[in-house]
Structure 1
């Protein structure tokens, strides 16, 4: 049986590097006629092949000179959630000299790594019929010295690839369904927490889901952290204090592939903004949050977690336009 991951991987590389007069043909060959392409704020929904080409790929090529795609994770598998089907999940960087504005973000005229979380529904003929993409434009602003949020949480850094360097088209790693089982069990127990310590049942310790040396890689505005104590201190405490009634896990996609798993909701989370967060006074508004999580597991433990959040949309709901506020 052919590897259904290969055709979309080839397309996503080629569409950035092909001559401009070949882009339309590539789009026609690799996307369905009714493709739906959902991108984080401010792009939002694109419908149809022409719209995807003109409002997503052409702006990327214009903003980053000689842009290239660098996959850190590229996995695929059957989706446990409706609408089912086979899906691809990827953590990638769009790499190039950032010379022209991109979706309102002003350029730096220097090398930039735009991180992206991506989910694609793949039809039996190999074409993409649906996409969900979170571009970390806040981190792009940080790289251009235009950061609109205070630096108060974790370490802002380039997303690394997996420590094992085997996250792109993994082979012969074992049962991806078992990897996904582990991550789903963790997510189920993560929902409830102690409001004083911000801990949840079963997360750490000898029989916990997370390895003692876990690494959590967060998006622009949050940053990354090390071990569960760092995760609580540099992200979870501030988030749960601000949004104590948050409920997550409303996912459209959950897949496992070897030692990797990926889940996403659009939105995944509902919550109320009850306490100040990242410089925004409590609005007491009901909010939603689009979320993507990518996991690497080993020996029955979660080792690494890459997280993409649509924070531009979250802050829009709180009354802040972070693109307009960039320095």
Structure 2
């Protein structure tokens, strides 16, 4: 699948910057006529090349002037889950001057990096299905209007892998990388409600490297080592959603030292505690998740996480776009 993966990467990097006249022929070449794109809230599902061009590509290109992609991870493999199929997954940034409103978000007129997690199902060299999480809360933060207020970890640009080999990596140990991640996920379900700890996650025989790095989405931020992960993400999350159940994945793949998993949704839970300043609602919620991992020496060294917090907060009755726009100065406010 190596040649197809390279071709799809070339397509994704070309279509985002091509002239308008080239969009239709490019998409006809690489998108199946019945292709469906499911994108994080507030997007509706888009079916067929025309709907994808009009509903996703053109709005994004219009908002980020001179749009480009910058891939940090780009891997592929056969799906281990029962849904099967060959999949390509990536962590990327769409960058450009944020000069036009995007999904109602007021632009900053400055450079912006919109992070994105993407899963593509491939059949006969064409994309038949896509699921994409755009980190819109982080785009709001970059525009100076953080709807969460930076309460947890470090809010920063997602870095590429420390080894700088995440795009089309070499190596035949993808199965071992995915084995490690799946074992970790299995034990992560069981935790001490008082400490947030889980047996087997850390220590000499644990799954995570001592100097692990966990890169989280807007609202959570990034952190360092297991204690940072627990403090900045796990403990607040489990306090708010103590009955959370995860792992409902449609796709799990491994490629070299990398693995990726995603669920749409992955988690079910009840909002029982304060979270990011939002009082408990008692509502049953779901959460769409994408995780990307780099493994080294039998440990998980880095983890990039995309969560559809736009959708999660919508279920909790919070409009993050409206909240962010309320922080705009009179000069920034739309007419």
Give the TM-score band, short-chain normalised: over 0.9
Pair 1:168 & 2:155 matched: no
Q: How does 1:48-127 map to 2 (within 5 A)?
A: 48-123=48-123, 125-127=124-126
| TM-score normalised by length of structure 2 | 0.96
Cα distance, 1:184–1:108 mapped onto 2, change above 3 Å: same
CA separation in 1, counterparts of 2:44 and 2:133?
Answer: 10
Residue equivalent to 1:15? 15
| TM-score normalised by length of structure 1 | 0.98
CA separation in 2, counterparts of 1:104 and 1:294?
Answer: 29
Contact 1:150 1:279 in 2 (8 A): no
CA drift of 1:82 comes to 2.8
Residue equivalent to 1:134? 133
Cα distance, 1:96–1:201 mapped onto 2, change above 3 Å: same
Residue equivalent to 1:145? 144
> What secondary structure, in the 3-state scheme, does the structure 2 residue paired with 1:105 have?
coil
CA separation in 2, counterparts of 1:199 and 1:112?
Answer: 36
> What secondary structure, in the 3-state scheme, does the structure 2 residue paired with 1:220 have?
coil
Cα distance, 1:185–1:55 mapped onto 2, change above 3 Å: same
> What secondary structure, in the 3-state scheme, does the structure 1 residue paired with 2:45 have?
strand
> What secondary structure, in the 3-state scheme, does the structure 2 residue paired with 1:6 have?
helix
Contact 1:72 1:161 in 2 (8 A): yes
Residue equivalent to 2:320? 322
Deviations 1:250-282 (A, max 9, x none): 000000000000000000000000011001100
CA separation in 1, counterparts of 2:321 and 2:86?
Answer: 35
CA separation in 2, counterparts of 1:279 and 1:2?
Answer: 45
1:232 to 230, 233, 240: 230
CA drift of 1:4 comes to 2.3
Gaps of 5+ in 2: 328-335
Gaps of 5+ in 1: none
CA separation in 2, counterparts of 1:303 and 1:111?
Answer: 30
CA separation in 1, counterparts of 2:202 and 2:48?
Answer: 45
Residue equivalent to 1:158? 157
CA drift of 1:7 comes to 1.5
Residue equivalent to 1:215? 213
Residue equivalent to 1:204? 202
Further displaced range: 40-49 or 221-230? 40-49
Further displaced range: 207-216 or 11-20? 11-20
> What secondary structure, in the 3-state scheme, does the structure 2 residue paired with 1:154 have?
coil
Residue equivalent to 1:275? 273
RMSD: 0.8
CA separation in 2, counterparts of 1:115 and 1:240?
Answer: 25
CA drift of 1:6 comes to 1.1
> What secondary structure, in the 3-state scheme, does the structure 2 residue paired with 1:163 have?
coil
Deviations 1:265-320 (A, max 9, x none): 00000000001100110001000000000000000000000000000100000000
CA separation in 2, counterparts of 1:266 and 1:180?
Answer: 19
Q: How does 1:36-51 map to 2 (within 5 A)?
A: 36-51=36-51
CA drift of 1:2 comes to 5.2
Deviations 1:70-100 (A, max 9, x none): 0000000000113211100100000110000
